[in-house]
Amino acid sequence: MKRRSLLLLGSWLLLPVFFHPSLQAGKAGDGPPKKMFSKDQKSEQIGKVLEVELSDFNALQDKAYLGNLYRNGVYTTKGLPSLKGVKWSFKAGGGIRSSPVVVDGVVYIGCDDGNLYALNAKDGSLKWKFDTGGMVRGSAEVCDGVVYVGSVSKKVYAIGAKDGKMLWEHETKGLINKTPTVARGLVCVGDGPKILEKCEEWQYGPSGTVIALRASDGKLVWESSFGAQGLTALSCDGEFFYANESYNLKNGSSNKTGEALKKTIDVGSGGVWTAASVDGDKCYASCLYSGVISAVSKEGKELWSRSHNKINEKLNYKYGGDAGTGIPGGLTLTEKLLIYGVEDGHVYGMNKENGDIVWSFQSGKGMIVYGTPVVAGGLVYVGTLGINGGGDVIALKVDDGKLVWKHPAGKQIWGTVWPGDGVVYFACVDGTVCALE
């Protein structure tokens, strides 16, 4: 197997954060890796070279939020080339702003009623639900028969995929509104914010830290002194984890802890809410407030950047006026394109080598693209939400952005859709989970 020496880095950035989490090869249920270090030992490990196996990395392709652990938004499924209609629908007990994850014939979806729901992917029937004690805004991560999920109840859970029974729980310092990332025997997630500043759908308080838990028992392995903000997930390529740096959403200012940052790229004033998309020796990240997209090398060098928002002050995130051009969702990477959605309702296809716009599509007047457009079977799939209500699921051609089909959902879609084989799954803010065929 290919072995690679790499430098352990202890701090990061405003968009991707590079750090090495004791990457000893192993699956989620294998127990503690041989090269593991505790929270107190972290500072002693920074700058040291570790050896890891790269060939055995499990990226959870077609089994993780945004398609895989690279969070590049590309699925190897067939998608849904033509639309017939609704296959099934299920009504949860509260609103839904998270995104579905479909693994081994089961749809997992978090809900504001505090439950994680497991539904039969064929007919939408309930298999089980698990009460986390607080809103579930992030997606679940499923690995080796275990479902990992965070909750605003300040807990991370490991749940048996078959029966919905709790395997372990870890109490955190702050609210967990993010998607856990499971790799190398670790469960990594942003721990924070510590308080909920305003009871609005999109706004959270100051961020906390990034924590790594042992996947087998939930014990803390290490903790950073800076945090990942927003409704996001860490990315992983088997060598590094990538995370966005913390932001204070109240004023958009950086909320650094003062520790020395070695891999820092500033993408503009405003939070980086979404996962960095990893593509070989590069990664890409977008900024919610400033509408900036940047391409960065693993060495932390900015390769290019582009902004869609020139007047940040005119943005209105309560949707009472004209929507701005910030980028709430993440970035999807095909062989040639970088695809993303904007608050003004546009979906763009951009040349990922230089940032030039290749095509654009307007999803409709008063529509906002809040989730991440994803790709499967040569089509781009994206959900929209209307400023005054309503929403659609849209399928576009990857190459030119032309509309292929459109499904009026009738309710706002805050999350990212999931393209399967001949079916597309999505959830609405009213708590309805749907499958299209």
CATH number for the domain harbouring residue 51 = 2.130.10.10
Give the residue numbers spanning the domain of 41.
3-436
Q: How far apart are CA 357 and CA 254, in angstroms?
A: 29
What average pLDDT does range 97-124 have in this prediction? 97
Q: Strands of 292-297's sheet, edge to edge? A: 277-279, 282-286, 292-297, 302-307
| Predicted local distance difference test score (pLDDT) of residue 239 | 75
The structural domain count of the chain equals 1
238 — pLDDT class (breaks 50, 70, 90): confident
| Predicted local distance difference test score (pLDDT) of residue 240 | 77
- For residue 42, the 8-state DSSP code is H
As a whole number, the mean pLDDT across the chain is: 77
Helix (H, G, I), strand (E, B) or coil at 159: strand
Q: How far apart are CA 349 and CA 13, in angstroms?
A: 26
Q: What is the pTM of this model?
A: 0.83
Question: Cis bond leading into 193, ω under 30°?
Answer: yes
64-73, 189-198, 354-363: lowest mean pLDDT where?
A: 189-198
Q: What percent of the chain has pLDDT over 90?
A: 50
Burial 283-301 (b: 16+ CB within 10 A, else e): bbbbbbbbbbbbbbebebe
